[in-house]
A and B are shown apart, each in its own frame.
Chain A
Amino acid sequence: MNEYKKIELVVGAFVLAGIISISWMAVKLGQIGGVGASGYALEAVFEDAGGMRSGSDVMLAGVVIGRVSDVVINEESEAKLTLLIHDDISITADAIASVRTKGIIGERYVRISQGGDDTLLQSGDEIEETESAINIEDLVSKYIFSSSEE
């Protein structure tokens, strides 16, 4: 019986260690119930999200301030992104959200540029001003088109 109590203790410690491992991964790596979920949500509609995926960074002045939590197509066949922003960061109502690329072939992120407005966006609000992804192919074709016209 005493032997069994000892085994029970070791098994308890083992299960506890496992649960701590799982929670550590969930909170630190997956940010489940962590920073992402405790932030507030803003929406932004883009004509071209440029292959943005949920999980991409949202940056302000080159600092990560949140993540893209959802990418869907709205009724007008535009890309509607839901951005989860850290609670301690406030975004002005006239801020501009643009889809940018880290480096030339790097991954997409959403860049926020603050405006000068005094009103701040609340959870669920939409960032009105958006700039779609810059498509290199479009740029190239525009250049060829404009140069052939001359």
Chain B
Amino acid sequence: MSGELVVTHNWFVRVVGKLGRNVLGIVSWLGDMASITTSSLALIFAPPWQGRHVVLQLYALGVGSFIIIAITGAFTGMVLSLQGYYTLAKFGSESLLGSAVALSIIRELGPVLGALMLVGRAGSSITAEIGIMRVTEQLDALQMMAVNPRARIILPRIVAITIATPLLVSMFDIIGLGAGYVVGVEMLGVNAGAFTGEMVAKILPEDLYAGWVKAVVFGFLVGSVCTYMGYRAVPTTEGVAKATTQAVVIGSVGILMMDYILTSFFL
């Protein structure tokens, strides 16, 4: 009898202990990430100005992601239009198609899908690049040459992707709306005036702000998670591979969680 009690007791202690350890682990992980991100961002005002490197990263991360964003945006708009048409046609409200497509893209799908694509395309390359710099001691070499890797490597990447994301998401939105228009009006025969009229009537400035705020927050999230994972990667080839995978997973899950939080603020 008492033996059983001891067993339950141990089991309970083990589970609670494991839970506590995991929570503490996550908290200290988040703290470490926040400290590296903020200490890097604080260097934005410290000379030397890293503008040239921000431009280079805007090129690599922003311009380099345009094609994938354009393709994703176009197909998102097309499928929304197609799917929305068949749903709305059941209620005889095809005229609402324009506003349905526009609201979905601008408030949700543009920022979320755009950011998810950016984690895969730009975020993974950030983590892999910084991780490899760690493995090959390039980060140490920068230190020895009195160049702070946080200012030179982390800061420009976070800044560049935070700037690039809202720009890319806006392009995603417009391409998506255009593609939705083509499918809805040209292919499915929805009245063009109704499509654009309803779209313009239902989109409020708040919807646009919600989309842009999300885009900026997601961009910053991707930047800080992916730079952090690379910076703290275990300096082996497997370590970098694992860090890259984790960065994409954590970044994607983080985007979806943050999306829920932000949406609940904006509604």
Contacts and interface: CB of A to CB of B under 8 A. Distances in A.
Given a CB threshold of 8 Å, the question of whether A touches B is answered with yes
Interface stretch (A2-10, A72-80, A116-124, A139-147): A2-10
Interface residues of A, number: 24
Interface string B160-182: 00011011101101100000000
Contact of A11 (B55, B102, B170): B55
B166 A29 contact: no
A25 B174 contact: yes
Nearest to A22: B170
Secondary structure type dominating chain B contacts: helix
Interface stretch (B10-18, B31-39, B202-210, B237-245): B202-210
Interface stretch (A12-20, A81-89, A127-135): A12-20
A29 B106 contact: yes
B208 A17 contact: no
A21 B173 contact: yes
B62 interface: yes
A19 B164 CA distance: 11
Interface in A18-70: 18-19, 21-22, 24-26, 28-32, 54-55, 57, 64
B166 A18 contact: yes
Interface in B171-202: 171, 173-174, 199-202
A21 B167 contact: yes
B220 interface: no
Contacts of A14: 58-59, 62-63, 66, 164, 167
Interface residues of B, number: 29
A4 B170 contact: no
Given A29-B102, A29-B106, A30-B208, A21 B174 contact: yes
Given A4-B52, A8-B55, A18 B171 contact: yes
B42 interface: no
Interface in B141-176: 163-164, 166-168, 170-171, 173-174
Secondary structure type dominating chain A contacts: helix
A26 B55 contact: no
Contacts of A26: 205, 208
Nearest to A55: B204
Contacts, number: 71
A10 B63 contact: yes
B212 interface: yes
A123 B66 CA distance: 45
Nearest to B201: A57
A55 B171 CA distance: 25
A31 B207 CA distance: 12
A31 B106 CA distance: 14
Contacts of B200: 28-29, 31
Nearest to B62: A14
A32 B207 CA distance: 11
Nearest to A64: B201
Contacts of A4: 52, 56
Contacts of B207: 30
A29 B63 contact: no
Contacts of B167: 14-15, 17-19, 21-22
B208 A7 contact: no
B205 A31 contact: yes
A19 B55 CA distance: 16
25 contacts: A7-B59, A10-B63, A11-B58, A14-B63, A14-B66, A15-B167, A17-B167, A18-B164, A18-B166, A18-B167, A18-B170, A21-B167, A21-B171, A22-B166, A22-B167, A22-B170, A22-B212, A25-B208, A26-B205, A29-B102, A29-B106, A29-B208, A30-B204, A54-B204, A64-B201
Given A11-B62, A29-B102, A29-B106, 14 more contacts: A7-B55, A7-B56, A8-B55, A10-B63, A11-B55, A14-B62, A14-B167, A15-B58, A18-B164, A21-B170, A21-B174, A28-B200, A29-B199, A31-B205
